[in-house]
Amino acid sequence: MTVVAISGVTKTFPKGHVTALQEIDLQIEPGEFVSLIGPSGCGKSTLLRVIGDLTAPSAGTVEVNGKSAHHARLDHDYGMVFQDSVLFDWRTVAKNIGLPLEMLGFDRSRRKQRVDEMLQLVELQGFGDHHPWQLSGGMQMRVAIARALAFEPALLLMDEPFGALDEMTRERLNIELLDIWRRMSSTIVFVTHSISEAVFLSTKVVVMSPRPGRVAGTVDIDLPQPRSGDTREDPRFFQKVTEVRELLRGVGADEHGSVLAEERA
């Protein structure tokens, strides 16, 4: 069954008559890793938020797991990771990861078990009793990912999760994320403004154009799995990066494409 089915989605903001999204059609199948990429103002974050029912579309329909996005949210069908880790200072790392489990009414012992599994998954064993401010930015993001996965959603929505991290941390977390994706056999929708990150992570890259936000084209990334540091040196990797860059150039993105100023539409 299709995980995300978007048809004819348009989103306009009354303030300034901005058309953030126009007539978007997109299907995401189970197990896919789809990146949304595009220059600032292309509405990629808005599209992600529409899928998560954090923003309502002005027209068109979004179905998640065969339900309306609204019902999917009420059913806890997806986990969300934001650009900022959004950890609660007053909670320990373990309690932060357990937050969605509290919302879903898991009892204490099941909560503890799941949190321990998650700490192991993101390799933060021994940090459960720390408070977020005691961790580095990369570790905080791993906690946010663990929290999003704690209740085992089949769909993970990630809004530029590694945007604020340095290059080296970002590349390490990319590999860890792929590892998690394989083990959880989940579907991931990932917003980024880095071409190489999009190509490295994804099975499919959706290139979007700005004002109004439209899908300019999609690039299937059939690089072998599992991917590793070597993938980045594979000639086929560069070929795909070039392909995405060409598409982006066509939509008026920055020539180099990799560092585009980002703003939430």
Partner 1 sequence: MAQAGHAAAFRGRTPTRALQPAQVRAAAVRAGTVVGVLLALWGLWELYRYVWIREAWTWPFPVNDTTLPHIHSIFQALGQPTSQGPLLITFLLHAAWFTAKEALVGFGLGAVVGFALAVALVHSRLAQRALLPYIVASQTIPILAVAPMVVVWLKSGWQSVAVIAAYLTFFPVTINTLRGLQSADTAAHELLRSYAASRWKVLWKLRVPASMPYLFSALKVSATASVVGAIIGELPSSIQGGLGGAILNFNQYYSITPADLWATNLIAAALGITFFVAVVLAEKLVVRRAPEQRA
Of 35-43, 56-64, 120-128, 217-225, the window that binds partner 1 (rule: CB under 8 A) is 120-128
What does each C-alpha distance from 262 to 83, 146, 151, 208, 210 come to in angstroms? 11, 25, 30, 13, 12
Is residue 131 a contact point for partner 1 (CB under 8 A)?
Answer: yes
Smallest distance, Å, CB 13 to partner 1? 15
CB of 190 to partner 1, least distance (A): 16
107 is a contact residue toward partner 1 (CB under 8 A): no
Taking contact as CB under 8 A, which single stretch among the options 56-64, 123-131, 160-168, 210-218 is the one that binds partner 1?
A: 123-131
Residues 19-78 that bind partner 1 (CB under 8 A): 52, 54, 73-76, 78
The span from the CA of 5 to the CA of 67, in Å, is: 10
Contacting residue, 38, 57, 79, 161, with partner 1 by CB under 8 A: 79
Integer Rg of the chain from CA: 18
Give the integer Cα–Cα distance in Å for 221 and 169: 23
Q: Which of residues 85-104 bind partner 1 (CB under 8 A)?
A: 86, 88-91, 99-100, 102-104
Measured in degrees and rounded to the nearest 5, phi and psi for residue 112 equal -60, -40
**Contact indicator for 180, 145 with CB cutoff of 8 Å:** yes
Identify the residue among 25, 123, 152, 220 touching partner 1 (CB under 8 A): 123
Q: Supply the minimum distance, in Å, between the C-beta of residue 54 and partner 1.
A: 5
Question: CB neighbours (10 Å) of residue 71?
Answer: 14
Position among 23, 29, 84, 171 found at the interface with partner 1 (CB under 8 A): 84
- Which residues are paired to 53 by β-bridges? none
Q: Which stretch binds partner 1 (CB under 8 A): 5-13, 107-115, 126-134, 251-259?
A: 126-134
Measure the CA–CA gap between 81 and 184, rounded to whole angstroms. Answer: 16
Query: Does residue 126 touch partner 1 according to CB under 8 A?
Result: yes
Tokens found for residue 188: 């991931």
CB of 233 to partner 1, least distance (A): 22
Those residues with Cβ within 8 angstroms of residue 16's Cβ, 6 or more apart along the chain or in another chain:
none
**CA distances from residue 250 to 176, 207, 208, 232, 259 in whole angstroms, order as listed:** 32, 10, 10, 24, 17
Q: Give the interface with partner 1 as residue ranges (CB under 8 A).
A: 52, 54, 73-76, 78-80, 82, 84, 86, 88-91, 99-100, 102-104, 123-127, 130-131, 133-134
